[in-house]
Amino acid sequence: MCTCGDVRHGPEVRERRLAELRASRRTVLTAASGLAFSSAVAATAGSAAAGEAGRVKGAEDLRCYVLVVDGCRPDEIDSGLTPNLRALREQGMYWPRATSMPVMETIPNHVMMMTGVRPDRSGVPANAIYDRELGEVRTMDLPSDIKVPTVIERLNRRGLTTGTVLSKEYLVGIFGERATHRWEPELYIPVSEHAPDLLTYNALTSMVDELDPHLVFVNLGDIDRVGHTDITGTTLRVMRQAALLQTDTLVGQFIDSLKSSGRWEKSIVIVLADHSMDWSVPTNVISLQAPLEADPLLEGKFVIGDNGGADLVYWTGPARERERAIVRIREIAESTPGVLKAWDRRAPWLRLGPEAGDVVVFCQAGWRFSDPDPVTSNPIPGNHGHPATRAIPFFIGGGHPVVKAGKVSPKHARTVDVAPTIADFFGLRTGKRAYDGKSRL
């Protein structure tokens, strides 16, 4: 099942999550706009209360906004439907060679943006994993799923304030109480499980106007979600174009508001996507459950975590048979039509960590996985997670002098570069190995 909008967790997980929320200290601020923001107790008295000793000289006057245009393809910025995004790109710094990182899904790439490290360090390789401890496939939406500090927490410790405005329920879940100020939507669209961009935009502008965090991390979900809500695929193109137009308009309004409020000159605006988007047709569905189950070695001893364009296969049998099983799983997967490649999860380039299981199977462009059930698990055509959805837009606008207008770089920019870029902008000292990504400033 593509888990973009499907939040799954059993009773034990819910209990843990509740415990995490109870343990946090927070208060709810109702902004003049009527929107409610959750804020850390310490922060309500102002950022000066926190981390005074670690304050970075000059950082107080800086602002950074990370706008994740969820699921946007880089070519869509050139489509004519996004004049504001394109103008921001052309007047800022632009990396044409930019990609999402495996698995090309929403949660792991948002986590990479804020941690600056790959999943083998962050602990978040995919949207859906098989939790060996719980014995079930679940969505990675727990604050405790992230094993390393985020740049959000680093800024907080330096006395700077942070905000998250995340349109998707599972992103709200996994980033939890980390930011100084959080918008937690009260309304999610059924099926897509996201808040529409108009609401997200209102939350963003309200948070900026009234709480003015130094860093705001924003997810705009509409463009991605139209790929998931129309299971027939017939209205997809029109819906997507409408979403592009709408989101672009909101981004334009946000930039205008930064300029009119005087924030523009001290700001950078990082715009990127978490992954690209691909569309499958109804006949191009891969289900590995049955062929793996039919193998005597594997029967009853594996679990699949379906991530739309990527299946994570977990060996649950005896450890002594693991290596043989991995070989068999890869053989069967790669002989299945529509499969691009089945990787041993330990392949160095993947860097996914043990949470991603034993074999990572990617589909070809135009296909999708539907596991365990070939019909009901993943009926939607819009899809990502596989290499055909790697390319993303990535550019940095803003009026701060660090933004070199019109600069285009051939360097390979990645989602994992966002945290080190933010750290660099705010002057945080960073050890050589602290991040897997690189500052793009």
Sites of contact with other proteins (CB under 8 A): 74-75, 78, 94, 96-97, 99, 276, 340, 349, 364-365, 386-391, 408-412, 414
CB of 406 vs other proteins, minimal distance in Å: 9
CB of 118 vs other proteins, minimal distance in Å: 11
Nearer to other proteins, 64 or 270 (CB): 270
CB of 309 vs other proteins, minimal distance in Å: 11
Nearest Cα to Cα of residue 381 among 312, 283, 313: 283
Nearer to other proteins, 24 or 409 (CB): 409
Q: Can you name the residues that pair with 368 across neighbouring β-strands?
A: 285
Nearer to other proteins, 9 or 118 (CB): 118
CB of 391 vs other proteins, minimal distance in Å: 4
CB of 159 vs other proteins, minimal distance in Å: 35
CB of 174 vs other proteins, minimal distance in Å: 25
Query: Whole-angstrom Cα distance, residue 162 to residue 33?
Result: 19
CB of 209 vs other proteins, minimal distance in Å: 34
The two structure tokens encoding residue 1: 């099942």
CB of 340 vs other proteins, minimal distance in Å: 5
Nearer to other proteins, 214 or 386 (CB): 386
Nearer to other proteins, 225 or 351 (CB): 351
Please name the amino acid found at residue 99.
Answer: T
CB of 343 vs other proteins, minimal distance in Å: 13
Nearer to other proteins, 276 or 370 (CB): 276
Per-residue exposure over 405-432, b if at least 16 CB sit within 10 Å of its own CB, e if not: eeeebeeebbbbbbbbbbbbbbebebee
Nearer to other proteins, 93 or 203 (CB): 93
Nearer to other proteins, 48 or 408 (CB): 408
CB of 94 vs other proteins, minimal distance in Å: 8
Q: What is the 3-state secondary structure (H, E, C) of the chain?
A: CCCCCCCCCCHHHHHHHHHHHHHCCEEEEECCCCCEEEEEHHHHCCHHHCCHHHCCCCHHHCEEEEEEECCCCHHHHHCCCCHHHHHHHHCCEECCCEECCCCCCHHHHHHHHHHCCCHHHHCCCCCEEEECCCCEEEECCCHHHCCCCCHHHHHHHCCCCEEEEECEHHHHHHHCCCCCEEECCCCCECCCCECCHHHHHHHHHHHHHHCCCCEEEEEECHHHHHHHHCCCCCCHHHHHHHHHHHHHHHHHHHHHHHHHCCCHHHEEEEEECCCCCEECCCCCEECCHHHHHCCCCCCCCEEEEECCCEEEEEECCCHHHHHHHHHHHHHHHHCCCCEEEEEECCCCCCCCCHHHCCEEEEECCCCEECCCCCCCCCCCCEECCCHHHCECCEEEECCCCCCCCCCECCCCEEHHHHHHHHHHHCCCCCCCCCCCCCCCC
Nearer to other proteins, 196 or 353 (CB): 353
Nearer to other proteins, 117 or 208 (CB): 117
CB of 66 vs other proteins, minimal distance in Å: 21
Residues with Cβ within 8 Å of residue 152, at least 6 apart in sequence: 114, 162, 164, 175, 178, 179, 215, 217
Nearer to other proteins, 168 or 414 (CB): 414
